[in-house]
Amino acid sequence: MDELTVTMDQLRVGLYVELDLKWFEHPFAFSHFKIKSEDQISTLRSLGLPSVRYKPELSDVAPQEDAQAATASGKDAADSAAAVAAAAAAAAASPALQAKRAMLERMQLRRADAERVERAFTHTARAIREIEKHLFSRPEESVKQATGLVTQITDAILCAPELAIHVMGDTAGNEELYFHSLNVTMLSMMIAREVNLPPEVANLLGLGALLHDIGRKNIPDKILSKPEPYTTAEQNLYEMHAQYGAEMAQRLQCMPAVAAVIHDHHELFDGSGYPRKLKGEGIGVLARIVAIANYYDELCNPFNLAHALTPHEALSMMFAKHRAKFDPRLLQMFIRCLGVYPPGTVVQLSNGMTGMVATVNTARPMKPMVVVYDKDVPRLEAIMVDLDLEPELNIVKALRPGMVPPEVYVYLSPRKRVSYYFDASKPAPQTAAA
């Protein structure tokens, strides 16, 4: 595709232009875009550039006729150079560029927030490892630690004015065995917040979610780690983990509501679950919440990662194909919180660029924070676009990893395992998730 240049006098609304400037040297969200207004043309002319590149095939119009070009004299050229220098000086102090630099500072703060949240996630995963490690050798102490951890999480999530959901890196703490318990707990608490569960009930939900799979300790490793589909006998044995878990919870002197979550977290609203084939509101509401969180996480993070669905695919499948399996009101709340494009989803934006959803604010799930691929920006300094601040920019569709060029995939680094953590340490700003 051809790339041509136009002088600043030739700019028109509808031209698709590309700027030969670093991202932080101009006030626009991207270095290439379609001109939408006369204000944008004025801003472009203030940048001090003699010309810009444009793409005819992406433009709606042709450039303005440059009447001055044919008659320009040497003096005109000198005057033009002086004008460009003056415009460049003005651009350096322009409010628009100052706003861009302020945006750069906000991005640096958000990266610092993300690092802080990732450290908290790793710390929590390690705490869960210690709890599970000593659950039966030191049961009273372990249950006390688990209860304390869940109470901290509950207090933070339920009391936060707004809640930001971050996607975690693949190597966060190398505690993969404990990510499932943590994911299910966090996603369950997200629903608890949405349905306004009282803190004392949310604590029971959180402890049940954290311990929902303890019965798997009685299932042979050769079954748990088997990549092929189970035989009927193996499936029947695996399904016993729900009963085993409930019995363990009683031995650990957990509250009956916690044991019920552990026993019924595989029961499904249409009666197709196990172990008791319960149906509808015959399943306790806490177990119905954990069933949704557990099902979603197993779709995103199966034992065989080759079968993993993207977050968008998992949510779409649950809604489109398996909707009858879940409490419809709770599933609707779950989708509303995560958004149609949950954190970790690779997306195409309406300006043609590719990005990955990094953070969703549950108050504005359709306007997430997106990390954008730009070959001219180093990966560690990648542009983070807050769609809440870009009303003309939106997500067009989700992309499977195989649809993304290798260099873009490596740059965005979509997670092999999708883990979530929440930033509830402070009120989120009114414009975006922290």
| Confidence tier at 75 by pLDDT (50, 70, 90) | very low
224-240 pLDDT, tens digit per residue, is 888 888 999 999 999 99
Q: What pTM was computed for the model?
A: 0.78
Structural contact between residues 387 and 393, judged by C-beta atoms closer than 8 angstroms: yes
Find the mean pLDDT for residues 394-401.
90
Q: What is the largest CA-CA distance in the chain?
A: 94
Residues facing 347 on adjacent strands: 355, 398
Q: What is the pLDDT of residue 429?
A: 35
Choice among 68-82, 115-129, 259-273, 414-428 with the minimum mean pLDDT: 68-82
- The mean predicted confidence, pLDDT, of the chain is 84
357 in helix, strand or coil? strand
Segment (H or E) for 200 = helix 199-210
Residues facing 357 on adjacent strands: 370
Question: Alpha-carbon distance 400 to 308, whole Å?
Answer: 11
- 257 to each of 104, 223, 266, how far by Cα in Å? 48, 29, 15
Considering only residues 108 and 281, tell me which one the structure prediction assigns the higher pLDDT: 281
311-352 pLDDT, tens digit per residue, is 999 999 999 999 999 999 999 999 999 988 999 899 999 988
In three-state form (DSSP H/G/I as H, E/B as E, the rest C), the secondary structure along 90-138 is: HHHCCHHHHHHHHHHHHHHHHHHHHHHHHHHHHHHHHHHHHHHHCCCCC
Question: Alpha-carbon distance 413 to 354, whole Å?
Answer: 12
- 43 to each of 16, 47, 94, 96, 247, how far by Cα in Å? 15, 7, 9, 8, 69
73 in helix, strand or coil? coil
Count the neighbouring beta carbons within 10 Å of the beta carbon of residue 402.
6
Count the neighbouring beta carbons within 10 Å of the beta carbon of residue 174.
10
As to burial, measured by CB atoms within 10 angstroms (0-12 exposed, 13-18 middle, 19+ buried), residue 24 is: middle
Which residues are CB-neighbours of 210 under 8 A, at least 6 positions away? 128, 131, 146, 149, 150, 181, 182, 184, 185
Question: Alpha-carbon distance 411 to 20, whole Å?
Answer: 21
Structural contact between residues 89 and 30, judged by C-beta atoms closer than 8 angstroms: no
Please, what is the Cα angle at 201 between 197 and 203, to 5 degrees?
A: 110
Structural contact between residues 203 and 257, judged by C-beta atoms closer than 8 angstroms: no
| Confidence tier at 255 by pLDDT (50, 70, 90) | very high
